[in-house]
Chain A
């Protein structure tokens, strides 16, 4: 296992072969914002919030899927990427309905946190507010697609950790939606085990427990589950 040396924001750091720029940055306390990334899941690289600049490359690179290569010089907070990140959050907020005051995830929402961290008090774009139907057919959980940012965390956790693959993404573009099985009501899904992992990884208020007045955030639970499964270490 060879060691790679690179610089992030001028700071020299070392990385192992399999580490990404995001891994190394987090290890050194450098905060790169993310939304679709979740510790313990494969990378989707869909939210584009972790875009960083690499010296000598004209394009931006998603830190979550870019290997920490030897000798690269990474900039995580240039004016260019900061402006893009802000725009991404604005577009996400405008795409569906993200009125925090009436959302179950209020104060527990990763999208809201991103907006607050960026001091985003105004969205330049017309809100689309597509008025999508809420699915409350499951006995324990509710799915509100109006709050969904299509990060696909639920899709990945259901496939990779639970193994049921109840969720997937249908259609594309603005018509894209998270669907269970053959786009049937969640409560009638024959593949769903009701384990609730999707609810726990949802960054917004799109998936939540029935009767709950707030959502729970548990960013380490998959790491715990994987350590327990693979190394037989039940440590939290």
Chain B
């Protein structure tokens, strides 16, 4: 591509092999998809959020290498990349579990006992809020309001909203995901 800003190309190419490091990652085409997003935004620093979004969806989390890689590609200082990645709850700097449970703690859900649902899940599977079980099976998160107040108390299991939850129903819903010895 003969982009007008070709003279500002970083000295390292964007190919995964020449990136900061890809050690420990399966050799896949996810970096190619990330590069495509970076190029689509013509490496403009203001595309940071867009590119981090893509990286988060591709890798499931943002590790130091990915943050460094994105920063270099978009010419954004590392500390700003880190600042943006930690400002938004959407981004995660740690790998997420195979399954996710988001308990809504919005006003309506809270009034209907969302705190008890959260406590029950925490206790049943030994998982801290915004944490993941040691075996990497379950990530627990909370949200301020998922916009399903009519279904209060609500929770989201692997992207599916479940309304009128009870502590027991939430624990039961997660049970099939977990090893049986728990």
Interface residues, chain A, with chain B CB atoms under 8 Å away? 159, 165-172, 179-183, 191
Contacts and interface: CB of A to CB of B under 8 A. Distances in A.
Given A171-B87, A172-B87, A183 B82 contact: yes
Contacts of A179: 79, 82-83
A180 B80 CA distance: 9
5 smallest CB-CB distances across A and B, nearest first, come from A168-B79, A165-B77, A168-B83, A170-B86, A181-B78
B78 A169 contact: no
Interface in B55-92: 64, 67-68, 77-83, 86-87
Contacts of A167: 79
Interface string B40-60: 000000000000000000000
Contacts, number: 40
Contacts of B67: 182
30 contacts: A159-B77, A165-B77, A165-B79, A166-B77, A166-B79, A167-B79, A168-B77, A168-B79, A168-B80, A168-B83, A169-B83, A170-B82, A170-B87, A171-B86, A171-B87, A172-B87, A179-B79, A179-B82, A180-B79, A181-B77, A181-B79, A181-B82, A182-B64, A182-B67, A182-B68, A183-B82, A183-B86, A191-B77, A191-B78, A191-B79
Candidate in B67, B68, B80 with the most chain A CB atoms within 10 angstroms: B80
Given A182-B82, A191-B79, 8 more contacts: A166-B77, A167-B79, A168-B77, A170-B83, A179-B79, A181-B82, A191-B77, A191-B78
